[in-house]
Amino acid sequence: MNSISGASSLHCITELDIKEKIKSIRRSVIEMIHNESGHLGSSLSCLEIITVLYFMKMRHNPKNPNWEERDYFILSKGHAAPALYAVLAEAGYFSKEELKSFRRLGSRLQGHPDLRLPGIEAPSGSLGQGLSIGVGLALGAHNHGRKSKVYVLMGDGECDEGQFWEALMTAAHLKLTNLILIIDRNGWQLDGRTEEIKKKVPLKAKIESFGWKVYTVDGHNVQKIIEVLNQAEDSREPVAIIAYTKKGYGISFLENTNRGHKIQLNDEEYLMALKEIEEGN
Ligand SMILES: Cc1ncc(C[n+]2csc(CCOP(=O)(O)OP(=O)(O)O)c2C)c(N)n1
């Protein structure tokens, strides 16, 4: 059985294992959102990235979520919470059974991440704030002499928020090399295509001009994601990774469309989606 090359020494995982995990997490996301409603397309575009972080890269302990030396993950695009919840449940932070309570009154699994849930490092959902939170955590870890890395995942539409650009400038000024930003570049935001709502290109050059090292990657290719995360380790500047993704990835009739931005699949679509997952899409 092939093991994934480049996975952190803390994570001994085979190619087959990670594929199975992705399948199971994708199934959980579809089920959770079918039970209620939610941001399906937005969750599916960043699902591989979050899975690779938790199962192949980050130093974390589901049995001791507040372990001081842990790496941090901030889901700045908080509306993709179903993807994070499914990964956290798969990793053992809480039971998979609890996923059924998604968006129910009193549940710890709300439409956006809530600090009551083990594994959640910051409440998020008001777009534009995640990188600032990451800057604070990275600075704190550095000042305490900890090895912790801070990973922030945001949407490309989220780049419209001015606070993001302030945080970029601050991180470069403070030379926060323990901070890694990942942008889910799916090309869509709530109202349409990102370039039509507010032009982002040349996004890479813009972020570089703020003093960051910027990589690009296929955000659905597990091996490429782990490679670029490893490359990010040796940088002397904060690192941003622009991950090219497809909204709704894995469900053919939603893929690369904005229909699934926030949706509740009807029963027929739900069964079709599950069938596609089972068939190993
Ligand atoms: C400050 C703020 N304004 C508006 C919203 C409403 N909102 C939720 S999702 C979304 C679109 C985000 O687009 P993008 O960052 O590209 O994420 P994705 O396409 O991956 O869903 C918006 C505007 C919000 N959550 N926060």
Q: Model confidence over 212-236: pLDDT tens digits?
A: 999 999 999 999 999 999 999 989 9
Pairing relationship of beta strands 179-185 and 239-244 according to DSSP bridges: parallel
Q: Model confidence over 23-57: pLDDT tens digits?
A: 999 999 999 999 999 999 999 999 999 999 999 99
pLDDT of residue 12: 82
212 vs 26: CA distance, rounded Å:
32
279 vs 233: CA distance, rounded Å:
36
Angle, CA 158 vertex, CA 156 and CA 159 arms, to 5°: 75
- Taking residue 115's Cβ as centre, other Cβ atoms within 10 Å add up to 10
Tell me which of 42, 112, 256, 263 to substitute to probe ligand 1's pocket, judged by most ligand atoms within 8 Å of the beta carbon: 42
Q: Is 162 exposed, middle or buried (0-12, 13-18, 19+ CB in 10 A)?
A: exposed
pLDDT of residue 3: 65
What's the pLDDT band for 260 if we cut at 50, 70, 90?
Answer: confident
Query: For residue 154, which atom of ligand 1 is closest to its CA?
Result: 15
pLDDT of residue 242: 98
Please indicate whether residue 49, judged by its CB atom, sits closer than 6 Å to ligand 1. Answer: no
What's the pLDDT band for 9 if we cut at 50, 70, 90?
Answer: low
pLDDT of residue 280: 76
Asked whether the predicted pLDDT for residue 281 surpasses 60, the reply is no
Residue nearest to atom 23 of ligand 1 (CA): 190
Q: What is the average per-residue pLDDT within 237-247?
A: 98
Asked whether the predicted pLDDT for residue 93 surpasses 80, the reply is yes
Question: Structure tokens of 169?
Answer: 């400038």
Please indicate whether residue 158, judged by its CB atom, sits closer than 6 Å to ligand 1. Answer: yes
Q: Model confidence over 101-113: pLDDT tens digits?
A: 999 999 999 999 9
Q: Residue 80 C-alpha to ligand 1 middle, in angstroms?
A: 10
b/e map 250-266, b = 16+ CB within 10 Å = bbeebbeebebbbbebe
Whether a cis peptide bond, with omega within 30° of 0, leads into 202 is yes
Ranges 5-19, 48-62, 149-163: which has the least confidence: 5-19
Q: Residue 89 C-alpha to ligand 1 middle, in angstroms?
A: 24
Residue nearest to atom 7 of ligand 1 (CA): 190
Please indicate whether residue 127, judged by its CB atom, sits closer than 6 Å to ligand 1. Answer: yes
3-state secondary structure of 127: coil
pLDDT of residue 144: 97
3-state secondary structure of 257: coil
Q: Residue 127 C-alpha to ligand 1 middle, in angstroms?
A: 6
pLDDT of residue 244: 98
Closest CA to 258 of 246, 241, 275: 246
Q: Residue 160 C-alpha to ligand 1 middle, in angstroms?
A: 10
Closest CA to 183 of 134, 142, 136, 122: 134
Please indicate whether residue 190, judged by its CB atom, sits closer than 6 Å to ligand 1. Answer: yes
The CATH fold assigned to 15-278 is Rossmann fold (3.40.50)
Q: Model confidence over 157-195: pLDDT tens digits?
A: 999 999 999 999 999 999 999 999 999 999 999 999 999
Angle, CA 29 vertex, CA 121 and CA 77 arms, to 5°: 40
Please indicate whether residue 200, judged by its CB atom, sits closer than 6 Å to ligand 1. Answer: no
What's the pLDDT band for 2 if we cut at 50, 70, 90?
Answer: low
Please indicate whether residue 186, judged by its CB atom, sits closer than 6 Å to ligand 1. Answer: yes
Q: Give the percent of the chain with pLDDT over 90.
A: 89
pLDDT of residue 10: 76
Query: For residue 261, which atom of ligand 1 is closest to its CA?
Result: 21
Q: Residue 146 C-alpha to ligand 1 middle, in angstroms?
A: 33
Residue nearest to atom 21 of ligand 1 (CA): 42
Please indicate whether residue 191, judged by its CB atom, sits closer than 6 Å to ligand 1. Answer: no
pLDDT of residue 11: 83
Average of per-residue pLDDT values in the chain: 95
